[in-house]
Amino acid sequence: MALVVLSVYVDGSSQGNPGLAGIGVVACDEKGQVVATRQRPLPSATNNEAEYQAVLEGLRLARELGASEVIVFSDSELVVRQLQGAYQVRSEGLKGLWREAKALMRQFRRCEIRHIPREQNAQANRLAQQASDLASFRPRAVKIAPSILSADFRRLGEVVRELTEGGADWVHFDVMDGHFVPNISFGLPVIEALRPETSLPFDVHLMIAEPERYVDAFVKAGADIVAVHVEATAHLHRLVARIKELGAKASVALNPATPAEWIRPILPFLDVVLVMTVDPGFAGQKFLPFVLDKVRTVRRWMDEQGLTAELEVDGGVTAANAADCVAAGATVLVSASGIFQSGLPIPDAIEALRQAVKKVTGDGTEKEGEPPSEGCRCG
Ligand code: DX5
Ligand code: ZN
């Protein structure tokens, strides 16, 4: 192969996981087409060690791909300058890694190490972030909660039965009032009418102002889990207590721009934390990846306190990002258009989400051609 360009990225210990790093490698051909990707969690490494490991991983992948010429991009200027010979390697810990990299570099007819700013390296960044999540990942059962918001409303009874047979864990209901969110969907009578159709838990997401006025009625209509927005009520603890008193599970939802801190004091009282990954109001919106940092934060708090609440993500969740969500700590995936607009029969769409999630617990290697790749922006 004439030239393979590899971009390498390491993400250190952003979300309070000091010492953990993730390596993401994206290999592209001369045309910028992604040829292969690789990711690897790296427990207990210093930043510079991790950067060297990332370059090594990139060089190894290039060898495996049979490249004769290679350019490896790293976001660490220090590592780049050291490998270019412009800076000396002083630290004993790095000398071995430097030698290893140099030895690998000599195996190519031509090999260059260049610098790339982190933000210009989106795909490798994403792989590295996921790998870093995996370094602290503990496998947990993942539930699929299809939202009927994108289903055919003419035949909701059938839809709910299909979801039941198709392997859904919960049925998610998006109740909108045209006030808290700029859209009106459906309310109590729909939930009540569908209740006899399945024994699956009804996960009722209230995107309504003053939810305290309606929780009794929604539990009576058949809600098993009632989610209220932290932005929509002044007395969150009282409302959570009321939901539980009614015999339902209490869930609190946060909009994308709402800080995790808003639910921190109440976390031990919750059965579910619902992190919105789009601004609520409509199905079919684009997933907001920045919200995954909030998922990581809530996951860390829950693990530190030994809390077993479910951590649910809602909005724009598809087979393409389900693994990112689970790696960040989510245990429930809500999906409306990802299921009902996928073009697949309901059981297959649910299965596709489950398969996507398995990647997190698999060998950590993404196979060639999946997930759908953006081009290499490094060449
Ligand atoms: C957004 C709702 C979501 C929505 C998800 O306002 O809370 O549950 O239906 O739809 P998709 O999965 O299409 O983003
Ligand atoms: Zn929802």
Provide the pLDDT confidence category of residue 19 given band limits of 50, 70 and 90.
low
Q: Which atom of ligand 1 is nearest to the CA of 285?
A: 14
pLDDT of 372 reads 36
Q: What is the mean pLDDT of residues 241-247?
A: 98
Q: CA-CA-CA-CA torsion for 123, 129, 134, 140, nearest 10 degrees?
A: -90
pLDDT band at 369 (very low <50, low <70, confident <90, very high): very low
Is residue 368 over pLDDT 70? no
Q: How far is the CA of 227 from the centre of ligand 1 (A)?
A: 14
For 130-167, how does the pLDDT look when each residue is reduced to its tens digit (9 = 90+)?
Answer: 888 887 788 899 999 999 999 999 999 999 999 999 99
Look-up of token digits 């300058």 = 81
**Distant-in-sequence, close-in-space partners of 306: CB < 8 Å, separation ≥ 6:** none
Of the candidates 265, 263, 253, the residue with the CA atom closest to the CA atom of residue 204: 253
Top mean pLDDT of 45-49, 51-55, 346-350 is at: 346-350
Q: Strands 69-74 and 4-11, how do they pair?
A: parallel
Give the pTM: 0.84
Whether residue 373 has pLDDT greater than 50: no
φ and ψ of 193, to 5 deg: -65, -35
Indicate the angle between helix axes 77-84 and 47-64, nearest 10 degrees: 60
| 228 pLDDT higher than 50 | yes
Nearby residues of 66 by Cβ (< 8 Å), 6 or more positions away: 1
Token digits of residue 179: 């006030």
371 cis-preceded (ω within 30 degrees of 0): yes
Q: Which has the closest alpha carbon to 11: 337, 334, 302, 296?
A: 296
Helix 346-361 × helix 156-165 angle, to 10°? 40
* Paired residues of 34 in beta bridges: 28
Q: Is the pLDDT at 367 greater than 70, yes or no?
A: no
Confidence tier at 127 by pLDDT (50, 70, 90): confident
Sorting pLDDT into bands at 50, 70 and 90, what band is 8?
Answer: confident
Whether 314 is a known active-site residue: answer yes
Q: Which residue has better confidence, 134 or 25?
A: 25
Give the distance, in angstroms, between the CA of residue 59 and the centroid of all CA atoms in the same chain: 28
Of the pLDDT bands very low, low, confident and very high (cuts 50, 70, 90), residue 360 is confident
Ligand 1 close to Cβ of residue 342 (< 6 A): no
SS3 107: coil
Q: What is the pLDDT of residues 196-209, one digit of tens each?
A: 999 999 999 999 99
Radius of gyration of the chain measured on its C-alpha atoms: 23
174 noted as active-site residue: yes
Structure-model confidence comparison of residues 6 and 296, the more confident one: 296
Measured from the alpha carbon of residue 337, the closest ligand is 1
| DSSP string for 176-227 | EBSSSSS-B---HHHHHHHGGG--SPEEEEEE-SSGGGTHHHHHHHT-SEEE
Q: Of 173, 282, 325, which is best to mutate to test ligand 1, by the most ligand atoms within 8 angstroms of its C-beta?
A: 282
